Amino acid sequence: MIELSSISKRYATPQGTVTALEGIDLSIREGEIFGVIGKSGAGKSTLIRLINLLERPDQGSVRVAGRDLTALPPASLRRARQEIGMIFQHFNLLATRTVFENIALPLELRGESKAAIRAAVEPLLELVGLTDKRERYPSELSGGQKQRVGIARALATQPRVLLSDEATSALDPETTRSILALLKDINARLGLTIVLITHEMSVIKEVADRVAVLEHGKVIELGPVYDVFTRPRAEITRRFVGELVGGDLPPSLLRQIANDTATDPARRRVLRILFTGGAAESPVMSTLARRFDLDFNLLHGRLDEIQGRAFGNLVVELLGDPARLDAAVKYLATQQLGVESLNHEQESGDVVRLDRAAG
């Protein structure tokens, strides 16, 4: 649906040339929700604005629905852009227009008749749940309602692609969830391809099918959300995932693990178990206790779910017979879990990864 090939984009600034994007190749499929995540300055805005040519690449081509936008003359480009809707962090509504009039704007600009506009806008008001707010002005709406107007306006020309530029960044978590749910609903009902940029992994987790991680203008990681979350390769990706499930262990916990001298070290294992798509958490833990006749203490952990699959990590202390402890670790390795042993520590406090049994 969207093909970005060998894209580069530089900006000339008084301080010199800034490379915003370099060597971007991306292929976004029809009907998917594709997320792009990166820190501030990574190039996300530039990337999303290239898709409707609000920014022109210095090099490379942008194909949307089979057409090379970079090669189109202005009139054809205007028409092609009607197939690409966009929503913004700060909504970009016109303050002097009502909800209805804001949604109608793209159709007015296209010269549609009043009747055609009404026929198009009414169902959109319904779709975004604002039928009763049609005569209100933006200043009378909450942030979530404003974004709903933004979404309805973006859909007015019946686009095939919706671009979302940090559309939930100005909203509280609950409103964010409701807007993301609306985007998912629109994606499912209308088969719309959605490209969203964000700096929040929770947004990606909530809605995206696939994700690209952008750093210094390059795509450094790309894949289905579950795969990228559970097997992050780049340091920056690990950090994003850590925001969700706690990447680094609290220093107090590491000290506690290192300083426990009461228990015979041979009879004690502190493990971090990473749930990466194989087993679900509760059967694994109860099997460990029962089958291997071990005691366990849950020390720390955060679990989450992506597309119905467990994801996250638990830190557990297992106590018991040394041979049984070894057998328990071997068992974990057969469950498609990542296992790290934590009860060895360097002076710096860094965790030594002793046995990464699987992953």
56 binds ligand ADP (CB under 6 A): no
Exactly one of 18, 80, 220, 303 binds ligand ADP (CB under 6 A); which one?
18
15 binds ligand ADP (CB under 6 A): no
Contact 341, 271 (CB under 8 A): yes
Exactly one of 15, 17, 40, 348 binds ligand ADP (CB under 6 A); which one?
40
Backbone angles phi, psi at 121, to 5 degrees: -80, -40
Cα–Cα nearest to 1, from 225, 193, 196, 188: 193
User: Helix, strand, coil: what percent of the chain each, to 5?
Assistant: 40, 30, 30
Cα–Cα nearest to 51, from 89, 90, 85: 85
Backbone angles phi, psi at 202, to 5 degrees: -65, -35
Binding-site size, ligand ADP (CB under 6 A):
12
Q: Strand, helix or coil at 189?
A: helix
Exactly one of 2, 7, 26, 38 binds ligand ADP (CB under 6 A); which one?
38
Exactly one of 42, 103, 155, 212 binds ligand ADP (CB under 6 A); which one?
42
Q: What distance lies between CA 291 and its chain's CA centroid?
A: 38
The nearer residue to ligand ADP, 16 or 173, going by C-beta atoms, is: 16
Minimum gap (Å) between residue 56 Cβ and ligand ADP: 12
Minimum gap (Å) between residue 8 Cβ and ligand ADP: 12
The nearer residue to ligand ADP, 13 or 113, going by C-beta atoms, is: 13
Minimum gap (Å) between residue 45 Cβ and ligand ADP: 3
Q: Per CB under 6 A, which of residues 263..302 are in contact with ligand ADP?
A: none
The nearer residue to ligand ADP, 11 or 297, going by C-beta atoms, is: 11
**359/343 Cα distance (integer angstroms):** 20
Minimum gap (Å) between residue 11 Cβ and ligand ADP: 3
Minimum gap (Å) between residue 40 Cβ and ligand ADP: 4
57 binds ligand ADP (CB under 6 A): no
Among the listed ranges 36-44, 61-69, 75-83, 137-145, the one in contact with ligand ADP (CB under 6 A) is 36-44
Q: Which amino acid is at 313?
A: N
The nearer residue to ligand ADP, 18 or 222, going by C-beta atoms, is: 18
Exactly one of 2, 7, 20, 87 binds ligand ADP (CB under 6 A); which one?
20
11 binds ligand ADP (CB under 6 A): yes
The beta-strand segments (E) located in 41-200 are 59-64, 67-68, 84-88, 161-165, 193-198
Exactly one of 35, 43, 106, 312 binds ligand ADP (CB under 6 A); which one?
43
> What is each CA distance from 238 to 182, 223, 230, 231, 235, in whole angstroms?
28, 14, 9, 9, 5
Backbone angles phi, psi at 129, to 5 degrees: 75, 35
Question: Tokens 């530039």 — which residue?
Answer: 46
**201/206 Cα distance (integer angstroms):** 9
Q: Which residues bind ligand ADP (CB under 6 A)?
A: 11, 13, 18, 20, 38, 40-46
